Homo-oligomer: A and B are copies of this chain.
Amino acid sequence: MTENQPLFRALADPTRRDILLMLRGTDLTIAQVADNFDMTRAAVKKHLTVLSDGGLITVRAQGRERYNTLNPNAFAPIKDWLSFFDAFWDARLDDLKSAIEKDAQ
């Protein structure tokens, strides 16, 4: 149940979340991503490694460049985890509903 840790960790940094948004639609090299931030290429590369470890992106080598691509299935584990709470909310609403109905009698 804790195998999601690299994924949750990857999303915990604002720079990395921005990178993900940036990768919607286009694949970008490390240098291209780094151009959008006020930090070193090396720092950006570290973030990309964390994103890769979390399964959020995949890296494709092309010559001396590395294109970073958003992984379409990336968020499935998070959505699954969030769904563990849906049943609870439903039950809560049911409780509320029956309480109201009982009150209306």
Residue ranges of A at the interface with B (Cβ–Cβ < 8 Å)? 2, 4-5, 8-9, 11-12, 14, 17, 20-21, 24-25, 70, 72, 75, 78-79, 81-82, 84-85, 88-89, 91-92
Contacts and interface: CB of A to CB of B under 8 A. Distances in A.
A11 B14 contact: no
Given A12-B9, A17-B8, A85-B24, A92 B72 contact: yes
A20 to B, nearest CB: 8
Contacts of A20: 85
Contacts of A2: 14
A11 B85 CA distance: 14
A66 to B, nearest CB: 21
